[in-house]
């Protein structure tokens, strides 16, 4: 089940990557007044976080190495997911969504750590044919 959810999330991300790129180039839509000041604060914090994530994802620029570029961009992408999950814990009420947010925070931290280690290894010229067992397939996710 978890693999299916992750797979659907990845497909959704891939399918909306162009839309997300276009979206960050424009201002976020206004929050209707009937949503109230509390939601306005949530939306403002979410918009700041999304802008930071997009900026951080593009900040390293391209190196010409797809592996390094992927990791350098995915780290802030996952950090953005953690920030979004924290916001829903702060502002959300649904217990199922809050539990999912807690799981996202925990799993993304593990994935961020693994990506940072591999990125450091690759930048130091680590072997790509014999990575020393890390990261093993499924090594950053619970099965």
133 located within any domain: no
Within-domain flag for 88: yes
Residue 43 CB contacts under 8 Å (≥ 6 apart), including other chains: 28, 31, 35
In this predicted model, what pLDDT tens digit does every residue of 41-99 receive, in sequence order? 999 999 999 999 999 999 999 999 999 999 999 999 999 999 999 999 999 999 999 99
Question: What CA–CA distance (Å, rounded) separates 123 from 63?
Answer: 11
Q: Is residue 17 part of a domain?
A: no
Residue 13: inside a domain, yes or no?
A: no
Quick: pLDDT tens for 5-26: 544 444 454 444 444 444 445 5
Residues spanned by the domain of 78:
35-59+66-127
Q: Is 50 left (phi over 0), alpha (psi -120 to 50) or beta?
A: alpha
**Separation CA 69–CA 73 (nearest Å):** 6
pTM: 0.72
> In the chain, how many domains are there?
1
Q: Is residue 140 a part of any domain in this protein?
A: no
- Residue 128, classified by CB atoms within 10 Å of its CB into exposed (0-12), middle (13-18) or buried (19+), is exposed
Over the Cα atoms of the chain, what is R_g?
17
| Domain assignment of residue 104, yes or no | yes
Q: Does a structural domain hold residue 54?
A: yes
Residue 23 within a domain: no
């Amino acid at each position: 089940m978890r693999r299916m959810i992750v797979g659907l999330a990845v497909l959704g991300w891939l399918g909306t990557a162009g839309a997300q790129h276009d979206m960050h180039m424009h201002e976020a839509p206004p929050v209707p007044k009937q949503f109230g000041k509390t939601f306005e604060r949530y939306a403002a914090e979410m918009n700041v976080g999304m802008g930071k994530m997009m900026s951080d994802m593009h900040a390293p620029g391209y190196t010409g190495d797809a592996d390094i570029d992927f990791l350098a961009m995915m780290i802030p992408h996952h950090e953005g997911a953690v920030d979004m999950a924290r916001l829903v814990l702060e502002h959300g009420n649904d217990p199922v969504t809050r539990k999912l947010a807690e799981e996202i925070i925990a799993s993304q931290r593990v994935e961020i750590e693994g990506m940072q280690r591999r990125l450091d290894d690759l930048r130091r010229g680590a072997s790509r044919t014999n990575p020393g067992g890390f990261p093993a397939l499924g090594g950053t996710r619970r099965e």
